[in-house]
Amino acid sequence: MKDWENDLLTVGFLGFGEMGSAIAAGIGQADGEARDRVRFLAWAPHLETLKVRAEQTGAEAASSPRELCEKSDAVILAMKPDQCAAAVTPLRDVLRGRPVLSIVNGWTLAMFEEILGEGARVQCVMPNTPAKVGRGAFLFAEENTLLPAERQRMIELFSLAGAVIELPEKKIPAATAITGCGPAFLYMVIEALGDAGVKNGLKRQAAYELAARTMLGAAEMVLRGEGHPGALKDAVCSPGGTTIRGVAALEEAGMRAAFIKAVDATLAK
């Protein structure tokens, strides 16, 4: 019987695109005993791309989906939503006996239980691309059918590449709008600040680095509990100073409303 706390864990990625390989890369860069107790298998339909990504992440390429599932202690489903049913249905006999973690957007526990049947052990997770550099945010649905020891080991595993946040399944879509779509929005902020720097005489790469490092430092202050975001903003704004003039310009341009609308747009049916 598998010792979920101590044994070497073989994790298979069924699908190994940008998100699946980002998770493997982030975990692979971690240090410590927990990282040493996991190995990765991967399968994807585009074999040349699979080979490259497997080499980059230290994963072993499986020859078929069934081989991957049979050799894995836990399977991460990492394909597009419209591909999931066709990929999972032929494998339900082998998937039903092991933990299945889905990073397939929009798929719920009930949907997997319908396909896999009684005895399915499923955990839905919504990751984001910063996992690639160990700064991911992983949304774990509270509703799941994993055994307690299995779930704890999965939380430990994903924590190697970022932070695990547990939420009710019904809250996952709104949270994913921030963690999953948010990186794209924030890259646009970095790019816009970079453009502003170039407009005012900075070299582009330097402007991007300044913007990115400033965002990183500001985020770290929030995460360390240095204050409410509004209070931290206020602390930078001297009366009649340059920063408050910039803040007023952003408010006049509708920056706050634009971000709210962007999140709302991701949730629109």
CA atoms within 13 A on the CB side of 9: 28
Strand pairing report for 121-126 and 136-141: antiparallel
- Residue 7 C-alpha from the chain's centroid: 25
Q: Which domains does the chain have, with CATH numbers?
A: 9-171 (3.40.50.720), 182-267 (1.10.3730.10)
Per-residue pLDDT tens digits for 2-35: 777 778 999 999 999 999 999 999 999 988 888 8
Q: Is the pLDDT at 74 greater than 70, yes or no?
A: yes
Residue 114 has a pLDDT of 94
Q: Is the pLDDT at 73 greater than 70, yes or no?
A: yes
Distance CA 259, CA 250 (A): 12
Per-residue pLDDT tens digits for 191-248: 999 999 999 999 999 999 999 999 999 999 999 999 999 999 999 999 999 999 999 9
